[in-house]
């Protein structure tokens, strides 16, 4: 399957997915990297690995270099993209894109949705909110993307224990470590078409065999 990854930052999840494609654990190819920050770590990694980089900074409104949301969709189609993976992409995805790729856009969020999500809750703020709440577990959520922040159908989660002396930074590090494992597993599953949609609209991952 052909994958487009969207990043705004360091791109460690993107890197793990790309490595999974290279070592055969994911039956896919990253054909395009889209970013709103042209010099972020993820974009640098893409350039040094020969992956085309498209800069699309204000996804919803402003065209960049003449590129509108529907032209972004055209570019993704030109590359034959099967799935769009948001990996630390901090802008809302244009509605044209959501509609053009139904059930084909995933996002990773660093907490257990539906708690601790939504506009403004990203980065270290998420982990602060988790610690302030007194929750005993956190962990990544991978969900399908709809037209809002963090509200699409949940596909996969994994749990990380919150311990007494965790700082937001320590919790972020533990969750990020789980993100890397979970995202690669989930991308492997979508590339192998192992997602089953239950009648009520809940997506489930089928195990291999
Ligand atoms: C991750 O914690 C992800 O859940 C969040 O942003 C971070 C991105 O990290 N949305 P990286 O750019 O993949 O290193």
**Whether residue 117 has its Cβ less than 6 Å from ligand 1:** no
Ordered strands of the 141-144 beta sheet: 53-55, 29-35, 2-7, 83-86, 105-109, 141-144, 154-157
**Whether residue 187 has its Cβ less than 6 Å from ligand 1:** no
Do 84 and 106 touch, CB atoms closer than 8 A? yes
ipTM: 0.95
Q: Mind giving me the DSSP string for 15-79?
A: HHHHHHHHHTSSS-EEEEEEESSTTSHHHHHHHHTT--EEE--SSSS--BTTB-HHHHHHHHHHT
Tens-binned pLDDT, residue by residue, of the chain (209 aa): 999 999 999 999 999 999 999 999 999 999 999 999 989 999 999 999 999 999 886 544 554 455 788 889 999 999 999 999 999 998 878 899 999 999 999 999 999 999 999 888 889 999 999 999 999 999 999 999 988 778 899 999 999 999 999 999 999 999 999 999 999 999 999 999 999 999 999 999 999 87
**Nearest-CA residue for atom 2 of ligand 1:** 110
Cα-trace Rg, the chain: 16
Catalytically active residues are: 109
Q: What is the CATH number of the domain that holds 54?
A: 3.40.50.170
> Which residues sit opposite 55 in a β-bridge?
35
> Which residues sit opposite 121 in a β-bridge?
none
* Domain span at 45: 2-205
State how many domains the chain has. Answer: 1
> Is the whole-model pTM more than 0.90?
yes
């Amino acid at each position: 399957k052909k994958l487009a990854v969207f990043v705004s930052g360091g791109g460690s999840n993107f890197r793990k997915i790309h490595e999974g494609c290279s070592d055969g654990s994911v039956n896919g190819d990253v054909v395009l990297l889209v970013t709103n920050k042209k010099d972020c770590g993820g974009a640098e990694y893409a350039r040094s690995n020969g992956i085309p980089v498209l800069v699309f900074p204000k996804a919803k409104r402003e065209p960049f270099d003449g590129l509108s949301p529907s032209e972004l969709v055209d570019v993704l189609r030109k590359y034959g993209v099967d799935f769009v993976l948001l990996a630390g992409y901090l802008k809302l995805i244009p509605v044209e894109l959501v509609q053009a790729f139904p059930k084909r856009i995933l996002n990773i969020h660093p907490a257990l949705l539906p708690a601790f999500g939504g506009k403004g809750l990203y980065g270290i703020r998420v982990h602060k909110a988790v610690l302030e709440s007194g929750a005993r577990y956190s962990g990544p959520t991978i969900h399908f993307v709809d037209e809002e922040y963090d509200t699409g159908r949940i596909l996969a989660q994994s749990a990380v224990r919150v311990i007494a002396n965790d700082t937001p930074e320590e919790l972020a590090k533990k969750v990020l470590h789980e993100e890397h494992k979970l995202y690669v597993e989930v991308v492997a599953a979508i590339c192998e078409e192992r997602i089953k949609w239950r009648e009520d609209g809940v997506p489930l991952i089928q195990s291999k065999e």
